[in-house]
Amino acid sequence: MSDRVTPPPSSNPRRELQLTPEQTRKIEINRLAAKARQRNLDITSSSSHQPNANNKRPIEVTPAGSHSPTAPRPLKRDSRLGKYFEYDLSKMVNSKGGFLVEDDKEVDENQRMKERQRERERAMANLDPPLFLDNSLNPKCNECQSLDLDHQYKKVFGCLVCNKCKQEKPEKYSLLTKTECKQDYLLTDPELRDEELLPHMLKANPHHSTFSNMMLYLRMQVEEFAWKKWGSPEALDAEYEKREKEKKRKRGKKFEEGLKELRRRTKETVWQRRRDAEHQHTYGVAGIGDDGIIGRQICTECGFEIEVEEF
């Protein structure tokens, strides 16, 4: 195999190709068509179709579906999440949770106005009363003349007292339960249910949520009503001692009756046990004696004999 030999250089290296006018026209047409195709490709692949006011491409995030090499690639789903279903929320229909809802139902404007009025009344009831610029017109604490009143005490019990005095004087402003009022002050249920006589505050039962609400009374008002009912604190104490003695007497009587019943049942049980333990003679047929009148009967278990007379 012979080695290749480089051909000798041309005598005229700068010789130019001579093109005809028709060839030049076709080359120019092809060049313009290629530039147009490249321009259309850039427009379709770019996210900015229209230039901004400065005739520049606007700054935008390149979409994930773009063919640009700088476009972000979509994240792969983690296989540890398991299977799931993709829903198009724009095509979902509200089924009202399975309930039959009448969308065409007419709304009663009067009912709506009443509900709004009740909401405003509840909101106004929960608001604290305003303060006047004139300090003499503002309600003050009965103990220290402070303006920092407990508005719940004022609204429920009509008592003007601040939080500080309420804590410092529990002998007047502490709260009593219904059971304490009945046991310590000897008040009845009808009296405690009458809000005109004794206003009360309702609170949730701390022992269990399903139990009835607690009825709390102001100690000062309960004592005032109890003194008026019984005459004086001494009379209340005397009535309390009387009732305690009566309760003690009834408990003692009930205990004695129970003890007597226990003794009776115990005595009957012992007597029955003794009676059951006694031997019961079982006699056979009476034998006729020599005289033909008096016979003998013998117990079949112990051999005890008795004389019987036949008529």
How many whole angstroms separate alpha carbon 135 and alpha carbon 87? Answer: 65
Phi, then psi, of 44 in degrees rounded to 5? -70, -35
Token output for 228:
């008026």
Token output for 167:
């804590």
Token output for 113:
């106005």
Q: Are strands 214-218 and 175-176 parallel, antiparallel or unpaired?
A: antiparallel
Q: How much is the pLDDT for 226? A: 92
Q: How much is the pLDDT for 34? A: 92
How many whole angstroms separate alpha carbon 216 and alpha carbon 179? Answer: 10
Is there a contact between 192 and 181 (Cβ–Cβ < 8 Å)?
A: yes
**Predicted TM-score of the model (pTM):** 0.45
55-72 burial: b if 16+ Cβ within 10 Å, else e? eeeeeeebeeeeeeeeee
Q: How much is the pLDDT for 1? A: 47
Q: How much is the pLDDT for 292? A: 59
Q: Tell me the residue type at 196.
A: E
Low-confidence stretches of the chain (pLDDT < 70) are 1-17, 45-53, 55-72, 96, 98-107, 125-126, 287-294, 309-311
248-278 burial: b if 16+ Cβ within 10 Å, else e? eeeeeeeeeeeeeeeeeeeeeeeeeeeeeee
